[in-house]
Amino acid sequence: MEIKMKWDGDARFTSKTETGASVTVDTGVAFGGSGKHPTPMELVLIALAGCAGIDLVMILEKMRVNLSKVAIDVEAQRRDAEPRYFKEIKIVYTLAGEGLTEDKAGRAAKLATEKYCSVGVMLREKAEITYEVNVEQVGSPA
């Protein structure tokens, strides 16, 4: 796996992946950036949610659940001292679908979060990762 990254001025960089996708990273105005793009640490949380979400969907599909909703919220706390890596991360899964039970949702979330998500496995070296699962009835308001 490889990316190529180029400085765009100020605190902004644009990377291109070997598949051709591009992502621009920045920082907040207080730190010399525009605040218009995700920060590197925000991208870490996006990667965690995306990784766990993909694994969760694949697991639930194997359980023959017909998903109609998957929402993932992530909250994180960073250390006060440098380096300011994440020390606590909480993932909240909100799911709905035909054939989805609390038990299936819980088992799938556990597997996705604790076993299969490679990003989460790496982050656990420094951060405590917890999660909760909310199951909505099919047809429930968002």
What is the pLDDT at residue 142? 55
Which structural domain range is residue 12 located in?
1-38
Quick: pLDDT tens for 30-87: 888 899 999 999 999 999 999 999 999 999 999 999 999 999 999 999 999 999 999 9
Q: 65 with 111, same domain?
A: yes
Q: If you average pLDDT over residues 22-32, what whole number do you get?
A: 92
Q: Note whether 127 and 87 are same-domain residues.
A: yes
pTM of the model: 0.92
Q: How many domains does the chain have?
A: 2
34 and 46 belong to one structural domain? no
Query: First vs last Cα of the chain: how many Å apart?
Result: 37
Q: How far apart are CA 16 and CA 2, in angstroms?
A: 9
Both 13 and 74 in one domain: the answer is no
Q: What is the pLDDT of residues 111-139, one digit of tens each?
A: 999 999 999 999 999 999 999 999 998 76
Alpha helices (H) in the chain, listed in sequence order: 40-62, 102-111, 118-123
For residues 45 and 102, state if they share a domain. yes
> Contact at 8 Å (CB) between 114 and 74?
no
